[in-house]
Structure 1
Amino acid sequence: MKPVLNFLGEEGPETRPDRSFFHVIPVPMETSVSYGPGTAAGPGAILEASQQLEAWDGESVPMDRGIHTTPAVGCSGSTEEILSRVESRVSRSLSMGAVPVLLGGEHTVTLGALRALKAREDQDFGIVQFDAHADLRETYQGDRFSHACVMRRALDDLDLPLFQIGVRALSYGEHELRRERNIPGLGPGAVHRGEIPDPLLPPGFPKNIYISFDVDGLDPSVIRATGTPVPGGIGWYDALMLLEKSIFGRQVKGFDVVELAPVPGDHASDFAAARLVYAVMGLIRRKSRPLV
């Protein structure tokens, strides 16, 4: 059996949880994949690839704030049982004042983190979702907890504000729901044309945010190893710019990177996902800096 890897490995030696700003929580959940399988191997692939990261991210050393990697959340049993474990693990990190960083696993894992945040009475927050898909179906393939329904659960079950970035594949029902509920967002076409509002998030959006980043929100030229790749996605530097605009002036209460489905020999996708995780950490570390 392989030993449990810490995020960054030798570059980022294991740090005590009570002294770490970031808690990396692997959640190898795969219960409702609907096209290409493999998300259960995503967290391990990200941790493996993170061993090749440099501590200096180009502007800062996010690991200086402390990065603690927890054991993987057990993903046997029912979806509700798994989500309960995720919620408990995230709640523990929040109680220590840490930023929980979930590594998926399918997108459903996000719901456990959102439940943990919602349970904290002082946490008024909204979701910034990077994704090729809206994930707003009421049910999908008979499952209301499908990865295709996670943001519907956030809206209907948790009553959370939502801003969607990169969505370019959705059902007509999801399109109608976004129109009826006036769900704001920014499509990749607008990004390509440079039609990016400033500020990015709408007036009145909560100052506290949770970032959920499905890797298929990126163009497949950046990350191809995902179960449902969609052409026409966001490029690497545009994604970083949009993340910075989302984070600036706000408090990030947690984030996740989900839906990596590793393919043998495609180290580039795994490494890009690991670098994305570390890049978000860096942006959070530097959030008080003005945009340049």
Structure 2
Amino acid sequence: MSKRNAGLAGLLLLGIAGGAMVMAADKKVEVPAWLAPKIAGLPAAKREFLLSDKITNFAARHDLLFKRFVDKSPAEIEAYVDGMMQMTEDFKFKAGRDMGMIPLDTGDERFNAWKTKRPQSMNPKREPGPIYLDRYIGRWETGIKTFANAPVAITPEDLVAGKVDVAIVGAPLDMGSGYRGAKAGPAAMRATYGAGGIDMYTMVDPSDELNIVDYGDIAVDNMSTERTMSHVREEVAAIARTGAIPFIVGGDHSLEYSDVAGLADVHGKGSFGVVHFDSHYDAGKGGEHFITHGQPVYRAVKEGHVLGKNYIQVGLRGPWPGPEGFEWMRDNGVRYHAMPEVEKSGWNVVMERAVKEARDTGKKMYVSFDVDVLDPAFVTGTGTPVPGGLTMREAIPIVRRLCAETDIIGFEIVEVAPQLDVSYRTPLNANFIMHACLTGIAMRKKGLTQAHYLSDVTTEHGADTPAGKKRYKPEKVVKDVTKPI
């Protein structure tokens, strides 16, 4: 035994004998008086393991683990510790036994065929710019479906030539989640109305103020999340470099990592903040996969794409995270607004606080909207719904305000899984959320950036005012068109 281990064992033994505070690595663990004599005879390595953070693979806290030992003898406790230690070793990667990944056939001549773009020389000649696919102008239901009934752009040159303000692009990836189906989100949102037209709250029509295009879908390798992430990152960055704001329609929430990283490649690491709408905090760490729909916030902060102090979480609830998740957020300066805060203070107070925090960062902002932040009454088609969420009447104003009152560099809406919805409410409501952000950006372009701007036209009928009485001009009554002649 080394001097260090011998010294540590001595400290542990002293602590156990006294039934008080015991040092385990750099953390203090309190051993109950009734347990101290039962583990006094454990070898030093086993005591060190028992009092270390490694036991969190088996229990959330030491006190919860210790309760399992109440009726166990010292020998049974030692056997239990042996089992935990053996499992901890078995968890680890072992060369020769395990594969880090399934090898890809790099010799395949079509290795990158899934993301290879067709050269312009193979396309019909045309001037760069958006392409209108609808032969009609009267109704959104006709023609080829696009996001917000917008024209289509195919290349960055189209975005530049069309002076595009917003490029809406699909990212049909759902392998970052254990709940498949979100890959159908882009198609469902294109086929459902709600993303276009005037916003009655502000009387602003985004399509009148902004050049909006449907930029198609980003290619996905349906066998590899990792390869897909790299390509999504490249494509988001390519959109941003043209000056257009990328709107990404997922797909699952693992996309937040690649979307944020792509924007950081253009705008610079740490140069912008993120408002993250979600019932989950998505800052999980550990596990064998670096990128899943439960980890994008952690990876974005860990890699420095976004500083923790510039992350704002809205809508957290349910069984995850526990105390350790909130401790991580506090340690990293993340501002969070969980639904218990809404229950305590009311939604209007929480909304004002979150919007003010976003404005006060002084940073450009990115909005990440997981539809499971909404109550399942409004979104049934999502993989991890949690009761007690936001209503649409709560969600639309805060999204519209964030996109009007801060400088938005990107937006994403994710986790729309339409096959889990027997109605069409999930893609419908997702489109209205996206429309709220489009409205906000259009408002900002018009200079309507004052806090919680609403139109006088729709907030007051004015019929009883002098001006209203003066303009009173009732319709002339004509023949009843449904009455038989």
Q: TM-score, structure 2 length as denominator?
A: 0.55
**2:235 is matched by which residue type in structure 1?**
R
**1:21 is matched by which residue type in structure 2?**
D
In the alignment, is residue 44 of structure 1 matched against residue 184 of structure 2? no
State the Cα distance separating 1:217 from its structure 2 match: 0.7
Q: Residues 61-98 of structure 1: CA distance to partner in whole angstroms, max 9, x if unpaired?
A: 11231221122112114323211211221122112110
Distance 2:231 2:441 in 1: 26
Distance 1:204 1:132 in 2: 24
State the Cα distance separating 1:242 from its structure 2 match: 2.0
State the Cα distance separating 1:129 from its structure 2 match: 0.3
Shift in alpha-carbon separation, 1:202–1:273, aligned structure 2, 3 A: closer
Q: Residue 240 of structure 1 aligns to a residue in which SS?
A: helix
The gaps in structure 2 that reach 5 residues or longer are 1-142, 454-485
2:234 to 60, 65, 88: 88
Instruction: Assess if the C-alpha contact under 8 Å between 1:208 and 1:250 holds in 2.
Output: yes
1:68 to 197, 213, 216: 213
2:169 to 25, 48, 51: 25
State the Cα distance separating 1:26 from its structure 2 match: 0.3
In the alignment, is residue 286 of structure 1 matched against residue 432 of structure 2? no
**1:39 is matched by which residue type in structure 2?**
A
Q: Residues 252-284 of structure 1: CA distance to partner in whole angstroms, max 9, x if unpaired?
A: 000100001113532111111112112211112
Q: Which deviates more from structure 2 when the two are superposed, residues 179-188 or residues 208-217?
A: 179-188
Shift in alpha-carbon separation, 1:241–1:200, aligned structure 2, 3 A: farther
Distance 1:203 1:238 in 2: 19
1:217 to 339, 362, 373: 373
Aligned ranges for residues 1-292 of structure 1 at < 5 Å? 5-9=145-149, 12-14=150-152, 16-18=158-160, 19=162, 20-34=164-178, 36-50=179-193, 54-58=196-200, 59-64=203-208, 65-76=210-221, 77-121=223-267, 124-140=271-287, 142-160=288-306, 161-169=310-318, 170-172=320-322, 173-192=324-343, 193-194=346-347, 195-196=349-350, 197-198=352-353, 200-201=356-357, 204-263=360-419, 265-287=422-444, 288-289=447-448, 290=450, 291-292=452-453
Q: Residue 24 of structure 1 aligns to a residue in which SS?
A: strand
Q: Residue 405 of structure 2 aligns to a residue in which SS?
A: coil
List structure 1 segments (4+ residues) > 6 angstroms apart after TM superposition: none
Q: Residue 90 of structure 1 aligns to a residue in which SS?
A: helix
Instruction: Assess if the C-alpha contact under 8 Å between 2:312 and 2:335 holds in 1.
Output: yes
Shift in alpha-carbon separation, 1:203–1:32, aligned structure 2, 3 A: closer
Q: Residue 43 of structure 1 aligns to a residue in which SS?
A: helix
Q: TM-score, structure 1 length as denominator?
A: 0.89
State the Cα distance separating 1:44 from its structure 2 match: 1.0
Structure with higher Rg: it is 2
Q: Residues 127-155 of structure 1: CA distance to partner in whole angstroms, max 9, x if unpaired?
A: 11000000011135x32201000110111
**1:7 is matched by which residue type in structure 2?**
F
Distance 1:4 1:174 in 2: 45
Distance 1:159 1:284 in 2: 23
Distance 1:222 1:261 in 2: 13
Pick 1 or 2: higher relative contact order, CA cutoff 8 A, min separation 6.
1
Provide the aligned length of Structure 1 versus Structure 2. Answer: 285
State the Cα distance separating 1:8 from its structure 2 match: 2.5
State the Cα distance separating 1:233 from its structure 2 match: 0.7
Instruction: Assess if the C-alpha contact under 8 Å between 2:146 and 2:190 holds in 1.
Output: yes
Identity %: 24
Q: Residues 211-236 of structure 1: CA distance to partner in whole angstroms, max 9, x if unpaired?
A: 00000011111211100000111111
Distance 1:237 1:212 in 2: 18
Distance 1:103 1:159 in 2: 21
